[in-house]
Chains A and B, each alone.
Chain A
């Protein structure tokens, strides 16, 4: 960058008389060259300078937005939400990889052990529960206390993160379910139990119980229930269409309770 801006160009730029492309290249040069910046600053009026400078630094900041955040925004996520999501511990690559491996093992077990899709149906609903438990609160979120003291702290932050974890888990699980052995229950039998377990976990977390414990307990209960159902002659008791209807009703009821108790949810908060 040895050639500085000619005085005539600076004058025209100051008078706002340059075509857009030329003005842009002046700005690009000025951003990198303190000498010309001073010359321009001497000629352009202060208000306009501030406006230009604000826009320039903004553009530079924008270029530095990290890759996952940019993808999320391209997918239509509002920018602030995208920002929060990339700060969600369980949405990190390592967590998602863990989900994928667990599901792969469950699919494998479903195809090889002769138990039909039961291993898969047992495991899939647990994943989002665990994911949400580790996405919120002191254990996993390095900056939880800073976040907690902001207006988004508590329920709003939990909802954004839980929603994102659920969406991520459901997408991955839906893909995995495609390769399940078909035995008439339909590939979506895991979905409602997932939702129910997530919502129940959140509801119980509105009491004084810490979310990781709640998640572990709920998951354990669920696995026991599936084991009992598996031992009985009719596993449809748990995944058949009648059971699905009951699950849906329970989920709705639990969601209602959660909404009414939303102010009590401060799971990141110390008690």
Chain B
């Protein structure tokens, strides 16, 4: 059974479509939603988290219909959600905040709730900061706090919106580790605009650009879409759609490869740039 299924989903804010004709089946695994700012990632994840309804199309989450009140509650029981801007009560301690969310998640019995709160704070490495006020926590710690509340009650579906944004490289590594070794192996849907998250963490990647899905497959398959379209040269090549100087001092080019250029193995980065870069040039022309 797919954990999340979108059928022809559309959503408009005013006259601008944020999503158009989105079809997507998310299986139990770690799936990355990759796309530039404004692509519609947050809109899609909000729908998956039952906080936003589509204008058109059908959504099923964990086999249930979020438009139906009782089924929506059932979904919410099995859901963990880190919004793009989680928002905290700054004067609360980390423990209090997670405890509050645990109350909202209907873990009524105090002993069990506190055990659960301690468990998730431990998991994200905030045990020693549990009784510190949130306003005194660093950005990285707050991000882990946001993850902690989402892990309450061992969700079957974990939705993370830009959960790695603003983290330094070491924090990113720790974050990826936390996501990838979750004991209950929930379905994880994580949005990002950074390709390295996708290559490092995701079994599957969905590229969303301007509200439509432009690619759906494994990271290796995404990279392969750029095969034969990446070449390296000592000088800048005007024929490339995108080019930049690499740390090795050469120019890496992406686009329609000229016959005289030697192609190199593409990366996820190349493929993503090709997809989104092509979009930029299409829009500006």
Contact residues of A with B, CB < 8 Å?
Answer: 54, 57-58, 61, 64, 66, 79-80, 83-84, 87, 141-153, 157, 263, 268-271
Contact = CB atoms under 8 A, between A and B. Distances in A.
Interface in B84-112: 85-90, 93, 95-97, 99-101, 103-106, 108, 110-111
Given A64-B93, A145-B87, A150 B105 contact: yes
Contacts of A143: 86-89, 97, 100-101
A146 B114 contact: no
B86 A146 contact: yes
Given A146-B87, A149-B81, A61 B95 contact: yes
A151 B52 contact: no
Nearest to B84: A145
Contact of A146 (B73, B83, B95, B118): B83
A147 B101 contact: yes
Interface residues of B, number: 39
B221 to A, nearest CB: 31
B176 interface: no
B89 A148 contact: no
A147 B150 CA distance: 11
Contacts of A145: 46, 51, 81, 83, 85-87
Contacts of A58: 110-111, 114
Contacts of B100: 83-84, 87, 143
A25 B76 CA distance: 44
A127 B157 CA distance: 41
B131 interface: yes
- For A143, A147, A149, A157, the residue with the greatest tally of chain B CB atoms inside 10 Å of its CB is A149
Q: Which 10 A-B pairs have the closest CB atoms?
A: A263-B69, A142-B87, A150-B104, A145-B83, A149-B81, A152-B104, A80-B103, A148-B51, A143-B87, A83-B103
Contacts of A84: 100, 103-104
Contacts, number: 93
A106 B81 CA distance: 45
- For B93, B103, B106, B146, the residue with the greatest tally of chain A CB atoms inside 10 Å of its CB is B103
B115 interface: yes
A64 B105 CA distance: 21
B149 A80 contact: no
A149 B96 contact: no
Contact of B89 (A142, A150, A270, A271): A142
Contact of A151 (B53, B90, B106, B111): B106
Nearest to A89: B89
A268 B79 CA distance: 18
A64 B94 CA distance: 12
Contacts of B96: 64, 66
Given A142-B89, A269-B51, 9 more contacts: A54-B111, A58-B111, A83-B103, A141-B87, A143-B100, A149-B81, A150-B105, A151-B106, A270-B46
Interface of B: 46, 49-53, 69, 73, 76-77, 79, 81, 83, 85-90, 93, 95-97, 99-101, 103-106, 108, 110-111, 114-115, 118, 131, 146, 149
A160 B218 CA distance: 45
A143 B99 CA distance: 13
A64 B93 CA distance: 10
Contacts of A263: 69
A57 B121 CA distance: 14
Contacts of B86: 143, 145-146
Given A146-B83, A149-B50, A64 B77 contact: no
A58 B104 CA distance: 20
Contacts of A146: 81, 83, 86-87, 101, 104, 146, 149
Contacts of B111: 54, 58
A54 B77 CA distance: 25
A79 B110 contact: yes
A152 B87 contact: no
Given A146-B149, A270-B46, A87 B52 contact: no
Contacts of A87: 89, 100
Nearest to B68: A263
Nearest to A268: B51
A31 to B, nearest CB: 14
B105 A152 contact: yes
B275 to A, nearest CB: 28
A145 B127 CA distance: 25
Nearest to B161: A145
A64 B96 CA distance: 9
